[in-house]
Structure 1
Amino acid sequence: MATTAIWKVKGNLGRVVGYAANPDKTENPAFTAQDLQGLRDVMDYATQDYKTERQHYVSGVNCAPEIARDEMQMVKQQYGKEGGIIAYHGYQSFAPGEITPEQAHKIGVELARRLWGDRFQVVVATHLDREQIHNHFVLNSVSFVDGKKYNDCKATYALMRQTSDQLCREHGLSVIKKPEQGRTMSRDTWEAEQKGRPTWYGQIRQDVDSCITRSFLFEHFIANLKKQGYEVKTGKYIAVRPPGRERFVRLKTLGDNYTEEAIRQRIRDHERTPLYHRPPPPPRKYYKVRGKPRKLTGFRALYYHYLYLLGKLRKPTAPPKKRRYNMAEVIKLERYVEQAKLLMKYKVDTWDQFYTLAGAIQGEIDALADQRKELYRQKRRDPQIETLSLRIQSINQSIQTYRRELRVCARIEAEAPGIPTKIHGLTPAQEKELKPPAHHRTRTRQR
């Protein structure tokens, strides 16, 4: 059984092809949205050594994997089409334990040849870094035959899925008999759901499920959605617009259980229970605390309170009738959690402490960068010293951690002044008092 996906890539050509060849992230690879913005990002991701057993499972169709980026760029320059969508990143994932790496790579190469082999350059890489063996495809957006760009549409994706299923049957693998209907969600949404992060689709599903359990008729279901702040359009398809969003979302795109017919059936089938029963209070537990506990103040108290209101620190006992906070803030929940963890880690409560921390982090980055520079000089003079590479790798990891913390500091500086307004509805004059001093700036210089 194999699932497929494909999405467009804009930006720089080089890193797209090379992400899959980096040997330094074997244990816990980071596959972020920034890694996939340009063709350089995608190439890098698709051919990383630790994902592909040191390049044993990287192949090229109409190109050499080692110089695929340059060959793709030459085709773009030949036809004067270097802007816009520079590549497409495809994905094919197999069920755990159903296939060997060799067989998966063979199927991936054959899929690329059948779909694109007559007109486009493709890099195929088989990744082994997760439980599911999966293939990545980096497809040049410009054809080397006639210079026309690849047309990514529902028909071409349907052909990709059908061809993948056909190859699975030919190799004795299982096939999804009834794939989920509706359009494919965006890569960012799919990736967020794979990692368990909140998404707009997930929030809408939760609200729809809640409204179904509290409705006895379909009309009640529509009314309950409106009570939660949704704008609803009925017609051939039901479409809803969540609070804080500009576009409507058809419910059928959320999955088979969210078509109008399925929702009506779920309303008829679910058990008729009272809307809400208050659970009995849990037995109280008493603890003896030595000394007087210190109360959180400043930034830490602010973030702790806001995460509590967003539901991160407790679970609601009943579904709300209408959202008090914009759903966009819930989507940003992980960002606020990351900021709160940094403040708790370094016990930062005031702006002075915050800017002292930001300066100290930048100082650590500068010092480590100087050490790395000296190690590179020593390595050029004597490449045989193996310990130098290990020390450089360790410094790179430390710099990466500090840079991540510095980016979090920049977000705190930009977002912390607005949190009290979202909580208390402060006036602009009151919010101005909470802004950082004008003479301070968080430095985010990269070295």
Structure 2
Amino acid sequence: MAVTKIWRIKGRADKVISYASNIEKTSFSDSDRQALADVIEYAANEDKTERRIFVSAINCSPAFAKDQFDTVKKRFRKEDGTVAFHAYQSFAPGEATPELAHEIGVALAKELWGDRFQVLIATHLNTGCLHNHMVINSISFKDGRRFHSTAASYRQLKETSDRLCREHGLSIVEEPKGRGKSYNHYQMEAAGMPTRYNAAKKALDDAIERSCNMQELRANLRSMGYQFSFAPNRKYWTITLPGWKKPIRTYRLGEEYSREAIEQRVFSNGSEARTLRIKEGYKNAPQYTLRRRVDKIMGRTGLEKLYLRYCYELGYLPRYRQNTSKVHSLLKDELLRCDMYSAEAKLLSREKITNREQLAGHRQKLEARIESLEESRYHLRLTAKRKIPEEEKILCKSRIADISRELKELRHKLKLTKDIEARSPAMEEKLKEIEKEQHKEVQR
């Protein structure tokens, strides 16, 4: 089952290289030439290629590929920009021998790029599945034109790889699964943080559990503040979180959330779904006899009170009772910004800002301080470039570093201040809506 990818190498290649290679054996440089040398060295790593037995090259020598890549760039005076392209071809575990995998990689490179570009091909044997790395020079030795990686060229790469694999009796990916989760989305879910995807899943699960038909599902989602498009003639159903403009295709949430799966789950519900909805409508309002955290918050004033109350409604205060399933539907989309709201609440408390006039004054002070520091740093940088004693130059650089650190902190505070000015009106409106609904619940 061959899998293919291709990506560009530009400037520093350390993020890609350090992920796959041994950091103790590889060092990186800021220069483009070093980036090219790194990716070639990684592809031809002796520990992964059985002492370079499975390393080949087209239109260049494996031992001098980096220098020969550079020679072509110098010849056509194109030494800037992308230094190379890195292609990848992986095979299913146990399907191919190292010799066959390398033979297919060389044949693929010759057919796609052999007439115009220099290519290094290396077969890695150090993982559970054999895979080829192909490093393609970004400049053609034939006409000096640049290599362009486009959707069409990637499709050609995949189709050629699949054909070669079929010819040698290897499997291919018949139905690609498509784009998966982003790395940021994966990290947030692994850390237990809320995302708009799991918020949408939770809302759909709750609505489906209380629905016996599609009309009831739509009504339940609408009552929670969600927008949706469940039209029968639509290929993909979508759901949009409150406060968001970009919809989510439900099938991206998992197999249980495709159009067919949602309909099946809804229609398989019995009368107990309606019973559950009726029971929820008769829940008594909670009675509190002890002083609560929200009572302490209500004793504050102005913007500080607003932010503390907002963090409380998000379940962020106190931290030990945070339960995202109990957060009001109007605030579901705000769960991703909890850390930012907490930082803004601390800023308001620390600077003793209670109203928007004080906030505007604080912002002006920050902007004036930043402008002053930027001017000072500019003059220090000019001084450091002059011919002055080494001791003075060291002092200048030390002062520049101190100013840069202070500027970073001040810009962060300025960003928080501007965000407070922009978001606080909408926060007040949402809290008013929540209070109205809570008041109605108590009156029932």
Relative to the length of structure 2, the TM-score reads: 0.48
Greater helix share, 1 or 2? 2
